[in-house]
Amino acid sequence: MDEKGFRGYCAKRKFEEEAVKLYVKLVKECEEFLKKKGKKALEDASSDDVKDLVASLVKNQTIMLDHFRALARYFDFLHKKENVSVLYGYLEGLGVPEGLFKKLKETVGESRSEEIFEGVQIPPLGTRPEDKPKTTKKIMDRLEAHLDNKSLRELMSSGLEVFPDEWYLPEKKMFQESDSLDDFLRNRHKESVEMLQKHSREKTMFYAQEIDDEVVEYVQKNQEMMGGLRKGNIIYETKIPYQTKKFLHEKDPKMKRYYACHCSWVREAIKSGSPKISSDFCYCSAGYHKRPFEIIFGQPVKADVLETVLKGDPVCRFAIHVPEKLVPRTRK
């Protein structure tokens, strides 16, 4: 392990010293596992080696969220981007099942919720992405059998993986300082593009994906992507592909949809073609996209799924309904 170099990487990103100590400890432990497999160091690890490492930690019941954080940051330091993507694949949407169970209890009561989900087990941390769609299929089949379509969509879009309000306060401030909602959305998109340009210059990853000038140009040309575009009382948002570089160069429509999908609970089902999962599951993503606007506007908003790769569309696209009093909005 290049401990000195990694510590420098962590210092540049201003990680807490206690966290850095833990990351170093966990990375060294993981490297020892790989050495037993004949690898000299993590520098030599392939994506398959990473999967074997995770499987071993799961089997030994020693896996922690910090293992993923430590390894993702170390591989990012090593510029082993494919390994970082593999690790993110285990973590995406980690809190969605728990969030869904919690929201269902609030909606229909604990007794009926337990009846609906009787026998459904939440996959543990470290579950292979290939195994997750089986649980998603079971959950959606149960929900569709017990809820009408409107109630199901409201449940799925209610915010299953909620982040703190504080995350969105900079955007709320930007909105309050903008001349109009349209001005805010343009600035929001501009800031997103500038952030991607920084990733491209510094050759760092944006979550699970590598960013280059081609990716930046693709996002820059579409204000709906990482910004939003208002028409009437609707803000339209198109989700940036999960692996944009691969998406742009892929010719097979199925694989393009696979590279577009962000959700580890369904993505592998797109690739394999099985199991068939209701596209209403994607209202969970609609809930993710409306969440910033609920904080910005200071009130609940409605969101609809217009397109989703789960039902065969090339991208995922959402409609966020703007409160009438804010259309149009000018600064006082």
CA distance 103 to 96: 10
Asked, for residue 306, whether it belongs to a domain, the answer is yes
Establish if 161 belongs to a structural domain. Answer: no
Contact 285, 160 (CB under 8 A): no
Identify whether residues 66 and 112 lie together within a single domain.
no
Give tens-digit pLDDT for 169-216.
Answer: 999 999 999 989 999 999 999 999 999 999 999 888 898 899 999 999
78 and 112 in a single domain? The answer is: no
pLDDT tens digits, residue range 294-313? 999 999 999 999 999 999 99
Comparing C-alpha atoms, which of 299, 287, 289, 286 is closest to residue 326?
299
Note the pLDDT of residue 195. 96
Whole-Å CA distances, 240 to 53, 219, 221: 30, 7, 12
Residue 331 lies in a domain: no
**Final residue belonging to a domain, choices 156, 183, 208:** 156
Mean pLDDT of 219-237: 96
Please tell me whether residues 43 and 106 are part of one structural domain.
no
Structure tokens at 40: 């000299």
For 61, the domain range is: 3-91
Same domain assignment for residues 84 and 123: no
Q: Which of 113, 135, 156 is the last residue of a domain?
A: 156
Residues 231 and 128 in one domain: no
Contact call for residues 136 and 59 (beta carbons, < 8 A) = no
Q: What is the C-alpha radius of gyration for the chain, rounded to an integer number of angstroms?
A: 21
Using an 8 Å Cβ cutoff, are 195 and 287 in contact?
no
Question: Quick check: 263 and 276 in contact, CB under 8 A?
Answer: no
Confidence of residue 233 (pLDDT cuts 50, 70, 90): very high
Q: Which of 91, 112, 139 is the last residue of a domain?
A: 91
Give the whole-angstrom CA distance, residue 286 versus residue 319.
Answer: 8
Residue 332 has pLDDT above 50, yes or no: no
Give yes or no: residues 81 and 102 share one domain: no
Does residue 278 share a domain with residue 182? yes
Q: 188 and 314 share a domain?
A: yes
